[in-house]
Amino acid sequence: MNKFTTIPFLFLLVFIFSDFSSCQGKNSRPFNIDFNREAIILGAGTVAAVTAFAILKNNEPFTPEEISLLNPADVNGFDRGAIGPFTEDNAGDVLLYTAYLLPVSFLAYGETNNDFLDLTLMYGEVLLTQASITGIVKGTVQRTRPFAYDDETLMSEKTSTDARISFFSGHTSMTAAISFFTAKVFTEYIKDNTAKILIWTGAALLPAATALSRVNTHWHFPTDVMVGYAIGALVGYLIPELHRTRASDNVSIYPMINFNKPTLSVQIKF
């Protein structure tokens, strides 16, 4: 829960001290930082994060009476197979925490290392955006987790607030967002096609493994992880795409006065 309050302020500091010179004369870089754009993303993300925190904080846990009314037959046939006893998902946790460290690999490659502060700001926007979307949807939908339907699960687990925030999978969506963000960034710097294929394959498999673990331990239904994967992948891809330096950024077209005939001058910036 604290992530919704700490993430915005943590990356606001990164934003303040970021290398804004990348906006001026550094268009040879794959990505650029723009003060107005970052202010909008971080400002909207902060509002969304606070909203998510408020929604989740006001969620009420199940009562034993409500638990007694839960019927597995009410779950659609596609998802019903995920119902089972509460199990700690250690593998899913490890995969998520591993994903958080993936962008540290930018330090190991020369070109990404040079842009590490800018990439860190972008990474912060990914975390903030994904955490906010996940919190708002979970707190609004309030879908019951699969283990709450199982007779073997302890009542203390069923009556926790966490038992009614199944949709969509936060572990899967966050892992997908980080892995797709990391892959997108690297493939904008790396030219080798084989390396790109390997990077994207790893980016796709990590959240898939996380999703499988979340379903097998009865924390999520298949539709929870499928939607989480899609949203996380979209966020992880779009944030760096919004920052990608366009060819048009390197070209200036302006009229030049010529007493014989009007002309257009094209200037290429390096």
Token pair 């084989």: residue: 194
Model confidence over 155-208: pLDDT tens digits? Answer: 999 999 999 999 999 999 999 999 999 999 999 999 999 999 999 999 999 999
- For 41-66, b/e burial (b = at least 16 CB within 10 A) is bbeebbebbeebbebbeeeeebeeee
Percent of the chain's residues with pLDDT above 70? 81
261 confidence band (pLDDT: 50, 70, 90): low
User: Can you give the residue ranges of every domain in the chain?
Assistant: 3-268
248 pLDDT higher than 70: no
Q: How many whole angstroms separate alpha carbon 17 and alpha carbon 174?
A: 25
Q: Does residue 270 or residue 250 have the better pLDDT?
A: 250
Model confidence over 123-166: pLDDT tens digits? Answer: 999 999 999 999 999 999 999 999 999 999 999 999 999 999 99
- Cα dihedral across residues 133, 138, 140, 141: positive or negative: positive
Ramachandran angles phi, psi of 265, nearest 5°: -110, 135
Residue type for position 60: E
70 pLDDT higher than 70: yes
Give pLDDT, residue 207.
Answer: 98
23 pLDDT higher than 60: no
Q: What is the mean pLDDT of residues 92-100?
A: 97
Q: What integer best gives the mean pLDDT of the chain? A: 86
Give pLDDT, residue 138.
Answer: 97
Closest to 123 measured CA to CA, from 10, 257, 260: 10
Give pLDDT, residue 245.
Answer: 87
232 pLDDT higher than 90: yes
Token pair 């390197």: residue: 250
Closest to 210 measured CA to CA, from 251, 252, 242, 179: 179
Closest to 58 measured CA to CA, from 147, 164, 212: 164
Give pLDDT, residue 233.
Answer: 98
- Quote the pTM value: 0.83
**Contacts for 253-257: CB closer than 8 Å, 24+ residues apart:** none
Give pLDDT, residue 29.
Answer: 86
Q: How many whole angstroms separate alpha carbon 127 and alpha carbon 235?
A: 9
26 pLDDT higher than 70: no
Q: What is the mean pLDDT of residues 8-18?
A: 46
80 confidence band (pLDDT: 50, 70, 90): very high
